[in-house]
Amino acid sequence: MRWSIVLVAVLALATACAARTPDSPWRELSLPQHDARVLEFVPTADGVLALGSIPAPDGRSPAAWTSTDGSHWTTIPVRGESAYAKLAELISAGAGDRTVVLGQAFGGAHSNPRMTIWSGDAHGLTEHPQAMEMFGGPHAIAVSAAAALGGTDLLIGDWDGPEGRYGAAFWTSANGADWVRHAEDPALSSAPGEQTGASGVTTGPAGFVIVGETLRDNVLRPVEWTSPDAVAWQRHEMAGTNAVASRVACTTACTVLGQSIGASPHLLCWPAADTQPVTGPSATTVDTLQLLPAGARMLALATFDHTVQLHSLNPDCTDWQQISLPTPTAVARMFALRTGLLLATTDDDRSRLWLHALP
Q: What is the mean pLDDT of each run of 10 residues along the chain (359 residues)?
A: 44 42 83 98 96 95 97 97 94 95 80 88 97 89 95 96 85 97 95 95 96 96 98 96 97 96 95 95 97 94 98 97 96 95 96 86
Q: Does any domain span residue 137? A: no
Q: With helix as H, strand as E and coil as C, how does 255-300 read?
A: EEEEEECCCCCEEEEECCCCCCCEEEEECCCEEEEEEEEECCEEEE
- Sequential DSSP letters for 155-222: EEEEEE-GGG-EEEEEEEESSSSSEEEES--TTTSPPTTEEEEEEEEEEETTEEEEEEEEEETTEEEE
Q: What is the pLDDT of residue 6?
A: 42
Spatial distance between the Cα atoms of 257 and 315, rounded to a whole number of angstroms: 11
Other beta carbons less than 10 A from residue 45's beta carbon = 7
Q: What is the pLDDT of residue 7?
A: 55
Q: What is the pLDDT of residue 292?
A: 97
Q: Which helix (H) or strand (E) holds 10?
A: helix 3-20
Q: What is the pLDDT of residue 111?
A: 60
Q: What is the pLDDT of residue 4?
A: 44
Q: What is the pLDDT of residue 19?
A: 37
Q: Does any domain span residue 251? A: no
Q: Does any domain span residue 61? A: yes
Q: Does any domain span residue 52? A: yes
Q: What is the pLDDT of residue 11?
A: 54
Spatial distance between the Cα atoms of 150 and 174, rounded to a whole number of angstroms: 9
Q: What is the pLDDT of residue 137?
A: 85
Other beta carbons less than 10 A from residue 81's beta carbon = 11
According to DSSP H, which parts of 43-143 are helical? Answer: 132-135
Spatial distance between the Cα atoms of 38 and 261, rounded to a whole number of angstroms: 30
C-alpha torsion sign, points 130, 136, 139, 145: positive
Q: Does any domain span residue 134? A: no
Q: Which of 124-137 are b and which e, b meaning 16 or more Cβ less than 10 Å from the residue's Cβ?
A: ebbbbebeeebbbe
Q: Does any domain span residue 302? A: no
Spatial distance between the Cα atoms of 82 and 95, rounded to a whole number of angstroms: 23
Phi, psi torsion values for 45, nearest 5 degrees: -60, -30
Q: Does any domain span residue 181? A: no
Which range of residues forms the domain containing residue 95? 39-129
Q: What is the pLDDT of residue 358?
A: 61
pTM over 0.75: yes
Q: Does any domain span residue 54? A: yes
Domain count, the chain: 1
Q: What is the pLDDT of residue 20?
A: 33
> Closest Cα to residue 257, out of 206, 307, 205, 293?
293
Q: What is the pLDDT of residue 112?
A: 73
